[in-house]
Structure 1
Amino acid sequence: MNAILLLIRFVITQLIYFVSGFTPRSHKAVMGCYKDKFADNSKYLFLHWQQQQTIRAIWISADKPLVKRLQTQGLEAYSRWSLLGVWHAATAKFYVYNTYIGDVNQYLAKGAVKINLWHGSPLKKIEFDISNGPLLKVYHPENISQKLFAKAQYHQQYVRPNFMIAPSDTVKKLFSSSFRISNEQFLTCGNPRTDYYLRYKSEDWLQLNLPVNTKQVILYAPSWRDSHLNSTTNIYTQTIDFACLSKQLQKSDQCLLLRLHPNEAHLASELSQYPNIINITFWDDIYGILEKIDLLITDYSSLYIDALPYRCEIAFFLFDKAQYQATCRSEYPYVAELPKAGIDLFTFRDLLDYLNEFANKHHDLTDRGPLNSELTSARHQLTNIFWQYQHRSSLDCLDAFVQNAPISATKKPA
């Protein structure tokens, strides 16, 4: 895209965004999610608001089958560029989203109260804290041409939220830096994606067609490797012999649930034919089953932080650690000092040996046994770091916020 086209795009998008700031806005919330999915924090807050009628909550997505599915369930949802989708995006007082305003509509949000619920805990550097990797040019362009491109191509990344939620002071400090907002712009509370299942029952587990003799359920949920953004190489099949893994899982009466990141979902399509390996990458999200699994295997993802309150054990499969550190976003310095929530595994052989050892612990779906004292201590420390305000329900805090009612003892966000 040449400079003239970039300039034209920049002028048009900024003009539309500016004009949207003058439309009258009524007391309702438009909500959405990354990749036009129905997932994560905004999903669970939407479901809560729909059930409690706290505020008129409207789901916006470009995924027409998803919109139709929600409508058949009696939920209010519209396609992004439908007449009603545009109308509600242009006239809603609240925008509630998981990543950027584009989860709803990035061109019609000016003048709305923008509430970014985000979708993870900051382990890898995010947004304006990014200091390396392919996303560096998005947030730190070096010359006029790059700045024009960034402003035109990544408009929504530069729109700051009015409010965010933070489950701890550590998270608040990092969000404040990365999104360039003040401490006064936070609600300190839990996350809807975890608070929801403290109040409502999940039926997600019933969707799984587990093998009859399953004694342990393992969730493998690796992080997105942004250095492979434009690559067609399947790094998982290069690293893991899935046929061999399947044989061992069958022998040990274990079942592995495979959940790749939405940005890598296409890589999971060839991994659905192996016995005792169930591909759940297409699921909206996996928060409804965290309390049921026996073991979570991840890597650089903050998903393990969401799993801390549950009984599952945790392991980290870091098969590309050196390459990841060199080419992807770097981690925040504090991460190196965190207590370990589980064992590090570096090779496929390490993974097989660990799964075999784990199988011999004879945990099953009804009796996992106690965690050892070292893991219990680490989890306690990590919980204090990441879930300092977990006793404050995000559902209650956000209810109070949109109703202009006091939050705790004050009318200002804590």
Structure 2
Amino acid sequence: MLQKLKEKLRILKARVKNGNYAYYFWLFPIQQRKIVVSTHYGRGFSDSPKYIVEELLKQKSLDIVWLVKKGEEANLPEGIRGVRYGTKQALKELATAKIWLDNCRQVQSPPKRRGQIYLQTWHSPMRLKKIEKDAEKKLPASYIDRAKRDSKNCDYMLAGSTFSKEMYQNAFWFSGEVLPAGTPRCDILLNNRDSIDEKVRAYFQAGADTKFILYAPTFRKTADTSIYIREFSDLRRAAKKRFGGKWKVLVRLHPNVAYLANDMVYDEYVLNATAYPDIQELLYATDLLITDYSSCMFDMAISGKKSMLYTPDLSEYISKERDLYFKIEELPFPISKTMSELVNKVLQFDEEEYQQELASFNKEIGLFETGTAAKEVAQKIQTFI
């Protein structure tokens, strides 16, 4: 009983600290053409909101505010006002905006006002790991409290598949409208954007003849790199033998453990890509993705590109971290539990079989990505303002 009381007091203090009772901002009028955006709790200009905003920037009369952590202001494009995430000014901007746009549960937010519209893109709409109500027993009580309040505020969510739409309706404590527009961040994977490929290659000083393996594992609660791949020579040689060309590896750790990036081993063929601002651009330029339980596998699959899973800790992950929505062996991605097995999967990769399995899986989940999601959502926002 005492423990439950302490938890309730802790949640109450967090609500006060994060401005959940800051009704005094209601003294300021709502500005009809103001949109306040945040992604990954202030980490910067990225994910689906980035691509929606790029469309909105074509409308010159909008006041677009992006909430960012210190040091990220310089990375915002022209036409966007950067405001420090977590400040009183950020609360005021939210309280006076017509539109809230986010890809995560809002931590800091004033009471939502009548006439304000909150659109949630979510950061991993098609996913393997169970989340929210489906993983309630494995999530902190403080997060569950925040998630329920956030869903109550939310008016719209975006879905790129029937699977995602049903997940939002069943597991998100959400009673608003799910827009079947697709996933804005995935638009670039369905459209020809050579400028992005050139941008990525310039960033990593790689020639046009270089092919990329992107290694993008998810995080564990233990927050260490012991389970990650550390040596990539055999993998690179296998890729060269099977697919031809010159290969380099881009290593990108999950944002939750980005501080561990320096613990990995790099050389001229293995490059640190954790600080690269937009993983979607990396996926666009990548020829082969290696991940474990990250939702980026599904983004890669939308493009029809090669994706493989390396899961040496599968049993432990399921028991200690999260249950899964799919039996991992039934996914369309070749799966390995050892490095030698992964190397053999690369050497034996069957492109025709892979594409058939992708098509079957996309049909199973009811995929309806068209490559126009950002434009459709931007047009929807225009009707609100």
Q: 1:379 to 1:54 in 2, by over 3 A?
A: farther
Residue deviations 1:113-156 (CA, integer Å, cap 9, x gap): 111100111321111221443x154566xxxxxxxxx56xx786
* Alpha-carbon shift at residue 65 of structure 1 (Å): 1.7
* Alpha-carbon shift at residue 390 of structure 1 (Å): 1.6
Aligned position for 2:331? 340
Residue deviations 1:310-359 (CA, integer Å, cap 9, x gap): 24211110111010010011112xx128853221110122234445x27x
Q: Does 1:218 align with 2:209?
A: no
Which of residues 36, 59, 71 is equivalent to 2:42?
36
Aligned position for 2:307? 314
Q: Does 1:394 align with 2:383?
A: no
Distance 2:214 2:256 in 1: 18
* Alpha-carbon shift at residue 8 of structure 1 (Å): 5.8
Aligned position for 1:240? 229
What is the correspondence of 1:296-315 to structure 2 with a 5 Å cutoff?
Answer: 296-315=289-308
* Alpha-carbon shift at residue 400 of structure 1 (Å): 2.6
Which of residues 350, 375, 383 is equivalent to 2:341?
350
Which of residues 306, 327, 337 is equivalent to 2:320?
327
Q: Is the 8 A contact 2:135 2:323 kept in 1?
A: yes
Q: Does 1:94 align with 2:89?
A: no
Aligned position for 1:128? 133
* Alpha-carbon shift at residue 75 of structure 1 (Å): 3.1
Unaligned runs of 5+ in 2: 241-245
Structure 2 residue matching 1:296: 3-state secondary structure: strand
Q: 1:255 to 1:387 in 2, by over 3 A?
A: farther
Residue deviations 1:145-189 (CA, integer Å, cap 9, x gap): xxxxx56xx78656542110111222100111121223x611111
Aligned position for 1:116? 120
Q: When the two structures are aligned, how many residues end up with a matched partner? A: 366
Aligned position for 1:189? 181
Q: 1:272 to 1:204 in 2, by over 3 A?
A: farther
Q: 1:322 to 1:94 in 2, by over 3 A?
A: same
Q: Root-mean-square deviation (CA), in Å?
A: 3.3
* Alpha-carbon shift at residue 220 of structure 1 (Å): 0.9
* Alpha-carbon shift at residue 257 of structure 1 (Å): 0.8
Structure 1 residue matching 2:16: 3-state secondary structure: helix
Aligned position for 2:54? 47
Structure 1 residue matching 2:302: 3-state secondary structure: coil
TM-score (ref. length: structure 2):
0.82
Tell me the amino acid that sits aligned with residue 275 of structure 2: F
Distance 1:10 1:101 in 2: 12
Residue deviations 1:56-111 (CA, integer Å, cap 9, x gap): 322111x232113326x453222235675443222001100011223xx4235454
Which of residues 277, 286, 290 is equivalent to 1:284?
277
Which of residues 250, 253, 261 is equivalent to 1:257?
250
Aligned position for 1:66? 72
Q: 1:402 to 1:35 in 2, by over 3 A?
A: closer
Unaligned runs of 5+ in 1: 141-149, 362-370, 406-414
TM-score (ref. length: structure 1):
0.77
Q: 1:185 to 1:337 in 2, by over 3 A?
A: same
Q: 1:131 to 1:59 in 2, by over 3 A?
A: closer
Q: Is the 8 A contact 1:189 1:392 kept in 2?
A: no
Distance 2:85 2:136 in 1: 33
Distance 1:254 1:171 in 2: 34
Q: Is the 8 A contact 2:215 2:289 kept in 1?
A: yes
Tell me the amino acid that sits aligned with residue 129 of structure 2: K
Residue deviations 1:192-217 (CA, integer Å, cap 9, x gap): 11125638642532334356696532
Q: 1:220 to 1:392 in 2, by over 3 A?
A: closer
Tell me the amino acid that sits aligned with residue 219 of structure 1: L
Q: Does 1:106 align with 2:99?
A: no
Tell me the amino acid that sits aligned with residue 240 of structure 1: I
Q: 1:55 to 1:211 in 2, by over 3 A?
A: closer
* Alpha-carbon shift at residue 399 of structure 1 (Å): 2.4
Larger mean CA deviation between 80-89 and 345-354 belongs to 80-89
Distance 2:298 2:132 in 1: 20
Identity of aligned residues (%): 22
* Alpha-carbon shift at residue 266 of structure 1 (Å): 1.7
Which of residues 155, 169, 174 is equivalent to 2:167?
174
Structure 1 residue matching 2:110: 3-state secondary structure: coil
Q: Does 1:206 align with 2:201?
A: yes
